[in-house]
């Protein structure tokens, strides 16, 4: 090799007779190969012969043509971007490898390493369109300008010119840490977790969980992704969209979607909603912490259970392919049989099919309703009375309580719905709210109970839930036969019936004992008529009447005992007193 003179001329002597290639180099210029090419691969091969001088010519065929072209230069700065602790934080990235490639062929043209301030210079570049790549440990590789992430541009390089491409952004990778569970518990074995582009569903990363279900996926680009977990024997679960930020570590939190719960292929799912309509604190929302139990519809045997999460969702499995019913329980709430029934016999039957997830939809859980008030008798408090609440449709008892010494009571733990309320006490006539006077089931007031609400007795603007029971009236006496000869005999097993005088309604009835005695209690304070009857005997109405029309009316008062003061005799059918007493002729 030699150095050219000031005119660019050169001469190399002492060469052996071999095949050669010729190159010219100079700082700031691209290497040139004879004749007129830029690489050794394309350079001409010349054959030297002994004693021959190979000279440059410009005739029809150029020989030893060497043309140096000034270098093109690309400069810029590599900056790192993090979104934590502050969004869009930028810092210079030293030690990054910057590579320039041909935009058309991808051929590597040159590279450099950034200085501490992130700046770089890549020289010795040919003219043309190029792309620039930057890579550094701890950062995601990117193509300039990469702002926003993923943006790629081509840059023009010209001989003897410097092209400044400005900042090249590298983003700190995001990391997702999470866990795969099954029905809220650690999964047995390993599951596959994939990170998918939220828009295109392209798989960005994939890992197997550790044996207890945890996973960590790093090196992720900022952007919107979803996570997908799968395992044989379970239904694939996909998370909601997660927005990853540069440098962020997403921790396991169900709200961010990185706790993925796999359902067994045969399972039952649903959502628990709580309802409370207390006027002062009413609400309806998903209910967490509810124990949901699946039982066999035929035998009642427990097949599985689960606890609802913060969103009220639950999943129970694996389950056998049978017909089931679902029970929900939480302290302070009424136990529900899905979807919204108070007892197992009223619950819906769900069919579990092998390999399918059965969705029961929304299951309602209600705050218990209550009733409170005071039992009275003629406006005086009555203690120790039993207040019973009945389902207005089925007549089924749904709750009861005993009033305290002041007549006050509270019946709790009742199911929402329409009810009727009755008060009863020994020696008092049972009565229904709101009964001003005695009522029966058909005429009793129906009240509506709401979840979490207390129905309270009120006096204004109108009386509501008014419960007044009256002391019973009692009728007592005895039934005798007509005289047989000189003596009367008590008539046992005779039926004594008390009728309301105005309506003919039966108010009470009893049978006489062996001594002919009777007592009819629990009678209201009304006018009554009394009848005695026995098969084979002539029916009689008090006092000594033969029909209801002619019978005497007795007025009863609360707490009164009406004792018989008249003689009441029954005669056998066909009785002839002349058979026992002397009768006048004819």
75 plus 167 within the same structural domain? yes
Residue 186 has pLDDT above 60, yes or no: yes
CA of 255: how far to CAs of 204, 252, 258, 359, in Å?
Answer: 22, 9, 8, 22
Are 562 and 512 part of one and the same domain? yes
Domain final position from 436, 468, 500: 468
On whether residue 586 sits in a domain, the answer given is: no
Considering the domain boundaries, does residue 582 fall inside one? no
How many other CB atoms are there within 10 angstroms of residue 458's CB atom? 12
Query: Does 112 lie in the same domain as 86?
Result: yes
Domain-terminating residue out of 149, 171, 193: 171
Q: Which of 206, 248, 199 is nearest to 224 (CA)?
A: 199
Same domain, 284 and 223: no
In a shared domain, residues 359 and 375 = no
Helix H or strand E segment including 197: strand 192-197
> How many other C-beta atoms are found inside a 10 Å radius of the C-beta of residue 190?
16
Residue 579: pLDDT above 60? no
Position 397 scores a pLDDT of 96
Does residue 578 surpass a pLDDT of 80? no
Same domain, yes or no, for 382 and 405? yes
Q: Are residues 248 and 280 in the same domain?
A: no
* pTM assigned to the model: 0.57
Q: What residues have CB less than 8 Å from 557, skipping those under 6 apart?
A: 473, 525
Is residue 585 in some structural domain? no
Q: What's the pLDDT score for residue 488?
A: 81
Residues 76 and 167 in one domain: yes
pLDDT in tens, 87-119: 989 999 999 999 999 999 999 999 999 999 999
pLDDT tens by residue, 145-167: 999 999 999 999 999 999 999 99
Give the model's confidence band at 187: pLDDT under 50 very low, under 70 low, under 90 confident, else very high.
confident
Could you tell me which residues are beta bridge partners of residue 540? 532
Task: Indicate the pLDDT class of residue 277, thresholds 50, 70 and 90.
Answer: confident
Coil, strand or helix at 586: coil
pLDDT at position 251 is 81
Residues 6+ positions from 252 with CB-CB distance below 8 Å? 177, 178, 179, 214, 258, 259
Mean pLDDT of 299-320: 92
223 & 143 share domain: no
Domain CATH code at residue 90: 2.60.40.10
Q: Are residues 410 and 425 in the same domain?
A: yes
Task: Note down the domain range covering 198.
Answer: 174-264
pLDDT greater than 70 at residue 438: no
Does the residue 436 lie in any domain? yes
**Both tokens assigned to 415:** 């199911």
pLDDT digits (tens, 9 = 90+) for 243-255: 999 999 998 765 5
Q: What is the spatial distance between Cα 272 and Cα 328, in angstroms, rounded to a whole number?
A: 8
- Domain boundary among the residues 34, 53, 70 is at 70
**CA-CA distance, 422 to 467, in Å (whole number)?**
8
pLDDT of residue 462: 80
Q: How confident is the model at residue 443 (pLDDT cuts 50, 70, 90)?
A: confident
- With respect to residue 543, please indicate whether it lies within any of the assigned structural domains: yes
Interval 543-563: pLDDT, tens: 988 899 999 999 999 999 999
pLDDT of residue 585: 63
What's the domain count of the chain? 6
pLDDT digits (tens, 9 = 90+) for 350-368: 999 988 899 999 999 999 9
Specify whether 384 is located in the same domain as 314.
no
User: What is the CB-side half-sphere exposure of residue 232 using CA atoms within 13 A?
Assistant: 1
Whether 578 is in a domain gets the answer: no
Nearby residues of 114 by Cβ (< 8 Å), 6 or more positions away:
77, 78, 92, 93, 94, 95, 96, 98, 120, 134, 136
Residue 492 falls inside a structural domain: yes
DSSP state of 9: -
Q: Report which of 359, 361, 323, 362 is spatially closest to residue 344, judged by C-alpha positions.
A: 323
Q: Which residues pair with 448 in a beta bridge?
A: 418
Query: How many angstroms separate the CA atoms of 80 and 93, rounded?
Result: 6
Q: What is the DSSP letter of 137?
A: T
CB 514 within 8 A of CB 490: yes
Quote the distance between the C-alpha of residue 161 and its chain's center.
Answer: 66
Q: Is residue 118 part of a domain?
A: yes
CA distance 324 to 347: 10
């Amino acid at each position: 090799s030699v150095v050219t003179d000031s005119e660019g001329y050169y001469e190399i002597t002492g060469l052996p007779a071999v095949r050669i290639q010729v190159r010219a180099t100079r700082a700031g210029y691209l290497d040139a190969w004879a004749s007129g090419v830029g690489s050794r691969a394309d350079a001409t091969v010349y054959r030297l012969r002994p004693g021959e001088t190979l000279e440059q010519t410009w005739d029809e065929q150029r020989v030893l043509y060497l043309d140096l072209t000034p270098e093109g230069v690309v400069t810029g700065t590599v900056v790192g971007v993090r979104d934590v602790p502050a969004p869009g934080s930028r810092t210079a990235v030293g030690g990054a490898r910057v590579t320039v490639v041909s935009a058309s062929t991808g051929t590597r043209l040159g590279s450099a390493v950034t200085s501490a301030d992130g700046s770089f210079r890549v020289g010795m570049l040919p003219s043309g369109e190029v792309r620039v790549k930057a890579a550094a440990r701890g950062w995601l590789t990117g193509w300039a300008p990469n702002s926003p992430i993923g943006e790629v541009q081509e840059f023009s390089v010209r001989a003897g010119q410097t092209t400044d491409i400005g900042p090249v952004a590298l983003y700190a990778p995001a990391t997702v840490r999470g866990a795969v569970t099954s029905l809220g518990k650690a999964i047995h074995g390993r599951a596959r977790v994939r990170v998918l582009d939220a828009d295109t569903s392209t798989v960005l990363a994939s890992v197997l969980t550790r044996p207890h279900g945890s996973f960590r996926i790093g090196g992720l680009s900022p952007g919107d992704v979803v996570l997908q977990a799968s395992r044989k024997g379970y239904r694939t679960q996909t998370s909601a969209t997660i927005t990853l930020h540069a440098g962020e570590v997403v921790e396991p939190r169900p709200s961010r979607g990185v706790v993925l719960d796999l359902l067994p292929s045969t399972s039952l799912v649903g959502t628990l909603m709580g309802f409370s309509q207390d006027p002062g604190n009413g609400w309806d929302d998903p209910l967490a912490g509810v124990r949901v139990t699946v039982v066999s519809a035929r035998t009642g045997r427990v097949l599985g259970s689960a606890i609802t999460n913060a969103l009220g969702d639950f999943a129970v499995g694996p389950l056998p392919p049978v017909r089931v019913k679902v029970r929900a329980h939480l302290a302070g709430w009424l136990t529900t049989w899905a979807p919204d029934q108070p007892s197992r016999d009223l619950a819906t039957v769900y069919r579990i099919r092998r390999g399918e997830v059965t969705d029961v939809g929304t299951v309602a859980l209600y705050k218990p309703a209550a009733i409170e008030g005071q039992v009275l008798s003629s406006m005086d408090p009555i203690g120790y009375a039993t207040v019973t609440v009945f389902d207005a449709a089925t007549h089924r008892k749904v709750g009861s309580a005993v009033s305290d010494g002041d007549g006050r009571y509270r019946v709790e733990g009742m199911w929402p719905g329409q009810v009727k309320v009755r008060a009863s006490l020994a020696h008092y006539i049972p009565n229904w709210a709101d009964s001003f006077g005695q009522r029966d089931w058909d005429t009793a007031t129906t009240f509506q109970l709401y979840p979490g609400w207390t129905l309270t007795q009120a006096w204004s603007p109108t009386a509501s839930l008014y419960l007044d029971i009256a002391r019973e009236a009692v009728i007592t006496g005895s039934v005798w036969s007509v005289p047989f000869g000189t003596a009367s005999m008590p008539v046992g097993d005779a039926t004594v019936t008390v009728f309301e005088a105005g309506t003919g309604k039966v108010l009470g009835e009893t049978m006489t004992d062996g001594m002919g005695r009777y007592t009819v209690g629990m009678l209201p304070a009304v006018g009554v008529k009394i009848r005695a009857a026995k098969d084979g005997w002539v029916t009689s109405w008090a006092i000594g009447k033969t029909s209801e029309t002619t019978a005497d009316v007795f007025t009863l008062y609360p707490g009164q005992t009406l004792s018989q003061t008249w003689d009441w005799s029954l005669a056998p059918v066909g009785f002839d007193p002349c058979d026992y007493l002397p009768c006048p002729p004819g």
